[in-house]
Structure 1
Amino acid sequence: MYQPHEFTLTEDGYRGPAPSWRPGAPSIWLVDTDRTSDAARSLAPGILDASELARLEKLVFQPDRDCYTAAHVALRLLLGAHQGVAPDAVRLTRERCPSCDGPHGRPATGGGVHFSLSHTRGIALLAFADVPVGVDVEQVPEARVVEEITGQLHPAEAAELAALPQEERPTAFARVWTRKEAYLKGEGVGLAGGLNREHVGTGPRPLDPPGWTVADVAVPAGYAAAVAVGTAGRPPAAGHDRRK
């Protein structure tokens, strides 16, 4: 399990270290979007680009606006610190989708950095690496949501959930959902890639799809998170923060 760095933001901006990583291993950052919302809101007009500001304006509920703002301000500040440029100078683009060749594949930027961002109310996660990477964080769902969506998972995962006591299913479902979405985001296809495509498991340790390493990420109670890192052509990363 990965232990993320905690992102700290003040009204004057970010003064922490730039993201750094070992080959094949991600650098993961946790953003408390509630705690950083005021500072992020004041910094956003001078940091976010026109498309990000337009997306922000379309969000109806203030908690969602605060979460989006904090996550994207943190992303630009961390990328800028790594690249040695101002956060508003970071150029964000999209790769081509590997499934349909549309302009909605993995997010990308210059400088050989792969990154991924995920947020839900209260928390954002950001992952940076020298290889394709995907990250996802979700709130543990209600039991009714688990019942509604379980059938979309890989048949083996649905069977694993069905074998659990009912009170354990939401946590196990959140584990498999974040693992699967992190992997699909890393591939650049997102949920369109199909939740039943690969068996990543609902148990304490994830199963790795071919060419990828999947690991859980430590997040506060009530949430689940995972990261997926491309390993094609290289051995899985090792280190003290890999899996515990």
Structure 2
Amino acid sequence: MYQPHVFTLTEDGYRGPAPSWSTGVPSLWLVDTDRAAEAALLLAPKILDASELARVEKLAFPADRACYTAAHLALRLLLGARQGVAPEAVRLTRERCPSCDGPHGRPATGGGTHFSLSHTRGVALLAFAGAPVGVDVERVPEARVVQEVSAQLHPAEAAELAELPPEKRPTAFARVWTRKEAYLKGEGTGLAGGLAREHVGTGPRPVGPPGWDVTDVAVPGGYAAAVAVRAAGRPPAEGDDRRK
């Protein structure tokens, strides 16, 4: 399990180290978006671009606006530190989708840095690496959600959940969900790739799909998180990699 760095947002921005990593090991950063909300409100007009600010305005709830704002400020500040540019100068784009070739694949930027961002109310998680990477953080769901969605998972994962006592299923479901989504985001397909396609496991140790390393991430109680990184020197699960 990876222990992420804690990202602290201040009214002056960020004064910590830039993301750095060794081969196959991502650089992970955790943001308490509630704690960062006040500073984020002051910094957002100076750093976020027009599309990001418009997205904030469309969110109905203050907690969601604070979460999105803090997460995207952290992304720009960390990428800016890595690239040696001002955070507002960071250029964010989208790669082509590997499934349909549409303009909604993995988020990307210049400079050879691969990154991924996930947020849910109260927490954001960011990953940076020298290879394709995906990250996901989620709240542990209610039991009814587990019951409604479990059948959509890989048959082996659905069977694993069914064998657990009911009180242990939400935590196990949160593990498999974050592992699965981290992997699918790393591939660039997202949930459109289907929840049943690969087996990543519900137990304490993830099962990495071919060509990927999947690892759980330490996050506050009530949440689960995982990161998936393209393994060096190993091919992707399916055919040619169109996401270089």
Say whether the fold is shared (TM-score over 0.5): yes
Residue segments in structure 1 that go unaligned for 5+ positions in a row: 236-244
- Paired residue type of 1:206: P
* 2:200–2:209 contact (8 Å) kept in structure 1: yes
Displacement of 1:233 in angstroms is 1.5
Question: Which residue in the other structure is 1:155 paired with?
Answer: 155
Residues 127-166 of structure 1, C-alpha deviations (whole Å, 9 max, x = no match): 0000000000000000000000001000000000000000
Distance in 1 of aligned mates of 2:226 and 2:37: 24
Distance in 1 of aligned mates of 2:115 and 2:157: 28
Question: Which residue in the other structure is 2:238 paired with?
Answer: none
Residues 8-54 of structure 1, C-alpha deviations (whole Å, 9 max, x = no match): 11111111111111122100000000001110111000100111111
Residues 194-237 of structure 1, C-alpha deviations (whole Å, 9 max, x = no match): 000000000000001011000000000000000000015259xx
1:35-50 matches, within 5 Å, as 35-50=35-50
How many residue pairs match? The answer is 235
Residues 31-85 of structure 1, C-alpha deviations (whole Å, 9 max, x = no match): 0000011101110001001111111111000000000000000000000001000
1:193-232 matches, within 5 Å, as 193-232=193-232
Runs of 4+ displaced beyond 3 Å: none
1:1-244 matches, within 5 Å, as 1-233=1-233
- Paired residue type of 2:77: L
TM-score normalised over the length of structure 2: 0.95
Distance in 2 of aligned mates of 1:166 and 1:147: 10
Q: CA RMSD in A?
A: 0.9
Distance in 2 of aligned mates of 1:163 and 1:82: 45
Distance in 1 of aligned mates of 2:113 and 2:16: 19
Structure 2 SS opposite 1:119:
strand
Identity of aligned residues (%): 83
* 2:211–2:234 contact (8 Å) kept in structure 1: no
Displacement of 1:169 in angstroms is 0.1
